[in-house]
Amino acid sequence: MKHFYNGLKAVVFFLIGINVAMASVTDSEGFTKALMGRDTQSKEQAIDWLVSTQSGESSTLVLNAWLVGDLYYFNDKSSPNYLSLYQIKNHKSGETASSVWSDETTSIEKKSLFKKIRVNNRFRGVIRAELASLGLNDSDVIVRRDAVSSLLGQTDDDIIDKLQLKLTQETDDKVIELIQFALAIDSALDDAAPVQQRVDAIASMEDEKHTVVFKTMQKVLSTSNNEEIVQAANYTLGKYEQSQKLYSGVETLFFGLSMGSVLVLAGIGLAITFGVMGVINMAHGELIMIGAYTAYVMQTLFPNNIAFALLLSIPMAFMVSGLVGVVIERTVIRHLYGRPLETLLATFGISLILQQAVRSIFSPLNRSVSTPEFMSGAMQLNPMLSLTYNRLYIIAFCVLVFFGLLMVLKKTPLGLQVRAVSQNRGMARAMGIRSERVDAMTFGLGSGVAGIAGVALSQLTNVGPNMGQAYIIDSFMVVVFGGVGNLWGTLVAGLSLGLFNKVLEPWAGAVLAKIIVLVFIILFIQKRPRGLFPQRGRAADS
C-alpha cells in the first residue's frame, strides 16, 4: 500500500510538472511566476513573452536587471503589489525599488519583503544572446555593432536567422561586415554545409583580428577530417597568429615608449642640475614626490572637478618643487660646489628629511590621485590592439615638457646663461654673468621639472613617501647614458632604456631585465665615458 501511495504521488507531481511546463505566460504576474520557478521551459517561454509583448527598452531593462542580479519580486501576499517586479538600486540616501513596468519608485523600508530572482549560468548565456538580439534593431549604430560583436561565434539557428534577416535591412557598412563575419563563422562550423562553402567561409576570415577566429579554427581542426578544410583552417590560423605577434610587438613598443617617457620626465630635471652644476642630487626623487603630493592636494581642494585639479596641479607642482629646490641650493648646495661626494651625502640627508616631513603631514599611507574621465579607458584600434589613454597622454606630456624646456634653454636669457655657465664657468663669470644666481635658478628649474614629472607619475602609481626612491637610480642611469647636461641625450636615453626594459621583460622578467640594462650601461660607459651625446665646452674637457 505504501509503495502504491508513493507511486501515485510521483505520477501526480509529474502531471503537475507537465502542466506547469506547458502553461504559457500571458501577463506580468505569470512572467514573475515563471522566473520564480525552476522549470527551464517556463523561463524560456517567459523570455519569449517579454520580447514579443514588451518594448525593446522595457525588455532590455528587465533582462539586464535579471542578468546582474538586481531583479526582485514583492513577496507580501496581502499586498496588491504581490509578484510585482522591481529593480533595486543603492543611493546615498538608501535603497530604492523601481518598478520595471512603470516609472513608480519607492523607498525600501523592509528589504525582506523583496525576493531576488535567481539566474544560473545557463540562462546568463540565454539572456546575453537575447539582449544582443534586441540590440540588432536599435536605432544607435554603435549599439547594433556591439550587439553583432557579442553574437560572434553563436551558432543557434534562431540567432543565425535573425542575423540573416538583419543583413537584408542593415545600412551601416561596419555592421554589415560584422554580420557577414558572424555568418561566415556559422558556415565554417556547419558540418552539413558543402565543403567549398566552408572553405570560402574560412578564407574570408584570414584578415580578421577577433579572438573568435582562433577558437573557430581550433574547433574546425578538431572536428573536420576533410583535407581541403583542414588546409584552409591552418592557413587562416597561421595568418591570425602572425597578426597576433605583430600587434603584440606594437603593444610592447607602446609600453616601452610610455615607460621611457616616465624615465625622461624623471631624469630631465636631473640632467640640467647635474650637467650645469656637477651636483649629485640624491633628493631628486623626493622633488618628484613633492610634485605628486601637490597633485593630491589639488584633488582634495577640487574634488568635484578632477580634470581641472589635474591641469592646475602642473604649474603648482612646478612652483612648489622649484621653490623647494631653490631653498635647498641656497641653504646647502652652494657651500659644497666642487665636492661631489659631500653633495651626495648632503642631498641624501635632505631626501630623508623630506620623506619624514611628508609622513608627518600626510601620514605614511599611500594616497591615490584619481584619473580624469578623458584619461580613462583605452583606444581600441582593433580586437588585438588597444592603447590606454593615460599612457598616451604621458607620452604626449613628455614631448611637450621636453620641447618646452628646450625652448627655455635656447630662446631665453636664462637659457643662454645656463648654457654659458655649463660650457665654461670661468669665462661666463668674466663676461659678467652671476653664476651663483644662475646656479640657483638652474636648480629651481630642474626641481620644478621634477615636480611636473611627479604629477605625471601620480596617474600611473600610488603617491607615497617612498615613491621617489623608485626613480632616482633610473634618473641617474638616463643622464649618464645620454650624456651629462644634454637634453637630446636624455630623451634618447630615456626612451631607449624604456624600450629595452619592455622588450627584455617577457623572457627575462622585470628584475632580471633591469639588471641586464644596468650591466649594458656599465659596459657602454667603459667605451664612451661621456655618454651618447657628450657635452661640449672647456668645462667638459677639464
* Cα angle 177, 183, 189; round to 5: 140
Residue labelled with grid coordinates 544607435: 140
**pLDDT tens, position by position, 195-233:** 899 999 999 888 888 888 899 899 988 888 888 999 999
Strands 114-116 and 71-74: antiparallel
**pLDDT tens, position by position, 122-152:** 777 777 777 777 777 777 888 888 888 878 8
Helix ranges (DSSP H) in 412-467: 413-423, 425-430, 435-457
**pLDDT tens, position by position, 256-277:** 898 888 888 888 888 887 766 7
Give the Cβ contact number of residue 56 at 10 Å.
14
Q: Please report the pLDDT score of residue 314 as a whole number.
A: 92
Among 121-135, 154-168, 225-239, 519-533, the range scoring the smallest mean pLDDT is 121-135
Highest mean pLDDT among 400-414, 475-489, 504-518: 400-414
Among 239-253, 391-405, 433-447, the range scoring the smallest mean pLDDT is 433-447
- Using a 10 angstrom Cβ sphere, with 0-12 exposed, 13-18 middle and 19 or more buried, the burial of residue 526 is exposed
Provide the mean pLDDT of the chain: 80
Helix ranges (DSSP H) in 28-68: 28-36, 40-53, 56-68
214 vs 211, 235, 252, CA distance in Å? 6, 12, 21
Residue labelled with grid coordinates 612648489: 320
